Amino acid sequence: MKLSIIIPAYNEAPTICDVLRRVQATPFEKEIIVVDDGSTDGMRELLAGVREPNVRVLAHERNRGKGAALRTGFAAASGDYVIVQDADLEYDPHDYGALLGPLVAGDADVVYGSRFTGSPRRVLLFWHAVASHTLTLLSNMLSNLNLTDMGTGYKAFRIEVVRRLALRSERFGIEAELTAKIARLGCRVYEVPVSYHGRTYEEGKKLRWTDGPALIAAILRYGLLPGRVSTHAGLDTLSTMDGLRRYNAWLWQHISPYVGRRVLEAGCGTGTITRYLAARERVVAVDVDQHYVSTLQQRYADRPHIKVEWTDLASAQWPALEGEALDTVVCMNVLEHLPDDAHVLARFHQALQPGGRVVLLVPAHQWLYGTLDAAIGHYRRYERDSLRALFERCGFEVEQAHYLNPTGVPGWFLNGRVLRRAAIPGPMAGLYDALFPLLRLAQVLPLPWGLSVLVVARKPAPAPAPALLAMEAG
């Protein structure tokens, strides 16, 4: 395990050397990345004298703010985990073990160190604490997290999370942006108590009451209109879809009667359907994106009946399936990403036991294809009848094939064809999910369109041998 410690620093000459000494004393393999954010108090000259091989100093020519310093540090990090360490003496590096615990155990993707649940804690300004609690409350209302300390200077991340975040903030708004975007990505967030030795303004504290309105604006901006959340081309859309709790629960209720006990999930993505499959006897979840695979491997590390493996469904070999006896393939919004869909369906046929089923969902109607599809790598969209014929050519008996979610068509057309967006805005998706109990009433109508096509197809059991038929007849 290697730890990257990012220290954003501006005019911290009185404390920077002591902070580096304390960080160096922690018992971890580590790299220390100090980002000098345009200091003018002699700190840059102090850092020039640092000779430890695991310390790197990156410098901004002018003061740009904590957010800019963190973005510079995150881009340079190479460890397995990342911790943000303020350059003053308010936070104690002895708490690193507590911060890293949930990450190393595989329980968390992000850990916040709470100043309000730990001890010792220096007693300071009442109204400063009121402001911190108020900002945390507002952030929680928009992110649907239940943090006690959104603005803490101690945050720890898995490196994969840091690399995926698309961050823009320059100044203290970075705390609100980080919180909003890790919530939007569905990261597993833990909070642990840490000690806090706060400074007074006379001792050098930089956050002022005038920063309050800017922090409120940042919470509202990133909570309501976060912009691009991830650097990954399709993760924003998948994370938005993962947040459609009512729709996803309804979809699972729709397909669960056809899902057996031993399941291949072909294209697990961020785990939207995996969480429902987890109660089955055996689950083999595969994906071609290593970020998704590593995330779910961490999430299900303590469940031996769930195997998560990297697999390219477009390749000739699927080693993850060796020795597996599967009665169901669940493939949700994946086939459209593969250049040779007939090859993949034929491989599903080979992987299934006789009588096994494929439960498949794909986007419907080529006339809906737009920038949303292009952004997440769709080769095509499908019509119901042509998809049924494709299954039959691959040896399946189609038990049902119908359009789903007709009320989702206008939103997809508006965003992908008219507005030419690359991702669905979170608030629009949230409104759709909130209204879904009403919108789903349209599903009972036999409409000849929908946002998706659902197919349930069965691999026929082999016909009995003639001699066996004669014995049964006798």
Please report the domains of the chain, with CATH numbers, ordered by start residue. 2-224 (3.90.550.10), 235-458 (3.40.50.150)
SS3 sequence of 119-134: CCECCCCHHHHHHHHH
- Residue 122: predicted pLDDT: 66
Backbone angles phi, psi at 60, to 5 degrees: -95, 135
d(CA 25, CA 1): 16
464 CB-contact burial (10 Å; exposed 0-12 / middle 13-18 / buried 19+): exposed
d(CA 70, CA 9): 10
- Residue 88: predicted pLDDT: 86
Q: Is 196 helix (H, G, I), strand (E, B) or coil?
A: strand
- Residue 184: predicted pLDDT: 85
362 CB-contact burial (10 Å; exposed 0-12 / middle 13-18 / buried 19+): buried
Tokens coding 470: 């004669």
Residue 311: how many other CB atoms lie within 10 Å: 22
Residue 20: how many other CB atoms lie within 10 Å: 21
pTM of the model: 0.72
- Residue 124: predicted pLDDT: 64
- Residue 117: predicted pLDDT: 86
49 CB-contact burial (10 Å; exposed 0-12 / middle 13-18 / buried 19+): exposed
Q: Which residues of the chain have pLDDT under 70?
A: 121-124, 198-211, 232-238, 426-427, 463-474
- Residue 202: predicted pLDDT: 56
Q: State the virtual CA torsion across 238, 239, 242, 246 in degrees, nearest 10.
A: -110
CB distance 331 to 348 below 8 Å? yes
CB distance 44 to 36 below 8 Å? yes
Backbone angles phi, psi at 452, to 5 degrees: -135, 165
Does the CA dihedral 269-274-275-276 come out positive or negative?
A: positive
201-204's contacts with Cβ under 8 Å and 24+ in sequence apart are 204/12, 204/14, 204/15, 204/88
- Residue 446: predicted pLDDT: 75
